[in-house]
C-alpha cells in the first residue's frame, strides 16, 4: 500500500487491485465502527480508498503502509435483487464477443452474484464486480449521447445500471425499472460499496 496526503486531514491509500481496495474499505469501516479510527468519510474507488476528515493522518499513513491488506470479509449484507429485461441494443454484440448465443448472456449475467466495488460517475451509479475475466467486454468505440435510465450495462470488468439518462459508452444488455437514486429515500442511493446484487430475469428473458 502507498498512502498519499491530501490537504491537511485526508489520505489517499493506493493498492494494487480492486479486490484489495474492497478489502481495505471493509476493514476501515470496521475500525471506524469499533471506534479505533476517527474519520468523516471513507470513499473506495477502483484501486484507492480516500479517508477524508481523518484524525492524525501522518500516523495512519505510517500504520497502513506497514500493514498487509486484509482478506475480503464474508458478506453479511442483505442481497438486493434487481429485475431485468435482457433486451439491450448491445446484447448481440456482447454475445458475439463472448462467442455464445444471446440467451447465454442473460443466463451467465443473471447467474452471477455481484458486489458493488465503488460508486461514481453519477449519483446512485455503482460499479459492480463479479463476472469472470473471460466475460469482460470493451466499451463501445462510439459512446451514445443519451443512455436511458435503468439501462443495465457492461464495460471492462464492471456491470452498472444507469440511474438517470446520460451519455455513456458501456455495452447495454438490459433494462430495469428499479429506481437507483431517489433523493426522498434514506439513503438516497439503493446501492453502496459492499452491497450484494443479483439480477433476476423478467419478461420472458
Q: Give the tens place of pLDDT for each residue, 136-148.
A: 999 999 999 999 9
Q: How many Å apart are CA 65 and CA 15, to the nearest integer?
A: 10
Averaged pLDDT for residues 73-86: 80
Q: Give the tens place of pLDDT for each residue, 28-71.
A: 888 888 888 888 888 888 788 889 999 888 889 888 888 777 66
Q: How many Å apart are CA 195 and CA 100, to the nearest integer?
A: 29
| Structure confidence at residue 135 (pLDDT) | 97
Report the candidate in 140, 132, 137 with the shortest Cα–Cα distance to residue 170.
140
Report the candidate in 38, 51, 194, 29 with the shortest Cα–Cα distance to residue 128.
194
Q: List the single range of 4-18, 57-71, 152-166 with lowest mean pLDDT.
A: 57-71
The DSSP secondary-structure symbol of 55 reads S
Say if CB 121 and CB 140 are below 8 A apart: no
| Structure confidence at residue 204 (pLDDT) | 57
Amino acid at each position: 500500500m502507498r498512502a498519499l496526503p491530501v490537504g491537511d486531514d485526508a489520505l489517499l491509500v493506493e493498492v494494487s487491485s480492486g479486490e484489495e481496495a474492497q478489502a481495505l474499505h471493509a476493514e476501515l469501516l470496521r475500525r471506524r465502527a469499533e471506534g479505533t479510527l476517527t474519520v468523516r468519510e471513507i470513499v473506495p474507488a477502483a484501486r484507492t480508498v480516500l479517508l477524508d476528515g481523518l484524525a492524525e493522518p501522518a500516523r495512519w499513513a505510517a500504520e497502513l503502509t506497514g500493514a498487509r491488506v486484509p482478506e475480503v470479509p464474508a458478506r453479511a449484507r442483505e442481497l438486493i435483487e434487481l429485475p431485468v429485461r435482457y433486451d439491450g441494443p448491445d446484447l448481440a454484440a456482447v454475445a458475439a464477443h463472448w462467442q455464445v448465443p444471446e440467451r447465454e448472456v442473460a443466463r451467465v449475467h443473471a447467474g452471477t452474484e455481484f458486489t458493488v466495488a465503488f460508486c461514481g460517475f453519477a449519483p446512485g451509479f455503482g460499479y459492480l464486480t463479479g463476472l469472470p475475466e473471460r466475460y469482460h467486454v470493451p466499451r463501445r468505440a462510439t459512446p451514445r449521447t443519451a443512455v436511458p435510465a435503468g439501462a443495465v450495462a457492461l464495460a471492462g470488468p464492471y456491470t452498472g445500471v444507469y440511474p438517470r439518462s446520460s451519455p455513456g459508452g458501456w455495452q447495454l444488455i438490459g433494462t430495469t425499472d428499479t429506481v437507483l437514486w431517489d433523493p426522498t429515500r434514506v439513503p438516497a442511493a439503493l446501492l453502496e460499496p459492499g452491497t450484494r446484487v443479483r439480477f433476476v430475469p423478467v419478461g420472458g428473458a
